[in-house]
A and B are shown apart, each in its own frame.
Chain A
Amino acid sequence: MARMKFICDAERCIECNGCVTACKNEHEVPWGVNRRRVVTLNDGVPGEKSISVACMHCSDAPCMAVCPVNCFYKTDEGVVLHDKDVCIGCGYCSYACPFGAPQFPAQGTFGVRGKMDKCTFCAGGPEANGSQAEFEKYGRNRLAEGKLPACAEMCSTKALLAGDGDVVADIFRNRVLKRDKGAEVWGWGTAYGSSKPGQAPAKQGGKS
């Protein structure tokens, strides 16, 4: 299997926030924490574009690089996860992340800046798969249930694609060929090192 990846198709996203709602409901994410959110560029202007943003589970994740307590790890499927028992809530990952993925709950051990919370690609965390402890700390482990992330599965227009990088890139490529436009994938280059899905990483200094 290739790595797990997200693609958000800006040509299809209608800013319904279904992905945000699905995520919050599936994982019972507390008030004030948004693992996923929809961002609209040029809001109100004809031709505005919306994209759904969360942790992209980067190939070379900057959050992992800057964490002073080394609480991050990457699964064999390429999902970037972290151990909340190790996290000290310092916020370095928040500054390093180009997608604004790390969230800091305002309640809990560290008061105004709690232990970091972020999208897990619905893969839970370092507790027993499907256990109550895993659900309470990280949310539901849908991958271990043989399912894909709830946000993508609930997306009404299928703008948000999630799954094996080869599969989602193939679906997106087919779309672009059929409609003959909208080949740009926001964040793909930043997260996975290539300007187009399924192609080799861009050279250093290239456009995202």
Chain B
Amino acid sequence: MSKTLLSVALLASLGLSACMEKPQISGTKSDAAPFTGTGNAPTAFVNGGWKAGDKTSWEQALRARAQDGQNDYAKSN
């Protein structure tokens, strides 16, 4: 009898555990820094000239891109 009760209790606890709420994240999720790159995403759109994970090279690449693409005085003079 006690074994039956124990097994029923075990089954009930297992069954109820499936009804638990999904874990909820409080606040915002952490966001990966852009210099870490796009991970496993297709690299077809990634601009070259810097190495993923290297913050300095990423910053330099963006500075160079800003100057080359936006400073028309530097291009014309």
Interface residues of A (CB under 8 A from B): 1, 70-73, 75-77, 81-83, 85-86, 123-131, 140-141, 143-148, 152-153, 158, 161-164, 167-168, 171, 174-175, 178
Contact = CB atoms under 8 A, between A and B. Distances in A.
A164 B72 contact: no
A148 B33 contact: no
B65 A168 contact: no
Interface of B: 25, 27-42, 45-50, 58-59, 61-63, 65-67, 69-73
Contacts of A72: 28
A158 B29 contact: no
A3 to B, nearest CB: 12
A152 B69 CA distance: 9
Contacts of B70: 148, 152, 158, 161-163, 168, 171
Contacts of A144: 32, 34-38
Given A129-B34, A144-B34, A153-B69, A70 B39 contact: no
B38 A141 contact: yes
B65 to A, nearest CB: 6
B44 to A, nearest CB: 10
